Amino acid sequence: MPSPDAVASQEAADRLAIRRLVDAYAHCADRRDAEGQTALFTEDSRFLVHMDAAADEPAQELRGRAALAPVFADLNRYRATTHFNGQSTVTLDGDRAEGETYCLAHHVSFGTDDERTIMIASIRYLDRFVRQDGDWLFAERRLLVDWTETRPHKP
């Protein structure tokens, strides 16, 4: 039987690895690395988008890693994005885990006459993680939009 210190050490390592996974998703999004972002998911993953967090049914549901790349590449329509990950909770269960992460996503666009706008979305991610071959991956990511605000953006 492992010692309590060994168990605590493994739990800390798992929590850190999961946080790195969550942060890697945001980093890849902001760097327009759709391939890297896609690689953070299992082959049979699910990605669900709820544009209204209160809606029972998702506005979009994608199944499988291959379906994700075009969605992630759609971020190219923005001039810039910045995702700030905030508080998160994780519940571990062996090689599986569940979590919730808050994020403020900033999306800068140029319209006609080079008019800039910024759309800020308050997002909560409800995640299911799985450890495969020693690495933590997203098995399911549910994106819930709590609110958005769009306004002119002055450089």
90 to 8, 11, 22: CA distances (angstroms): 15, 11, 11
Q: What's this model's pTM, rounded to 2 decimal places?
A: 0.92
Question: Per residue of the chain (155 residues), what is the pLDDT tens digit?
Answer: 666 666 689 999 999 999 999 999 999 999 999 999 999 999 999 999 999 999 999 999 999 999 999 889 889 999 999 999 999 999 999 999 999 999 999 999 988 777 899 999 999 999 999 999 999 999 999 999 999 999 998 87
Amino acid identity of residue 106, one-letter, is H
Spell out the domains of the chain, with CATH numbers in brackets: 4-152 (3.10.450.50)
Q: Which two tokens stand for residue 20?
A: 């790195």
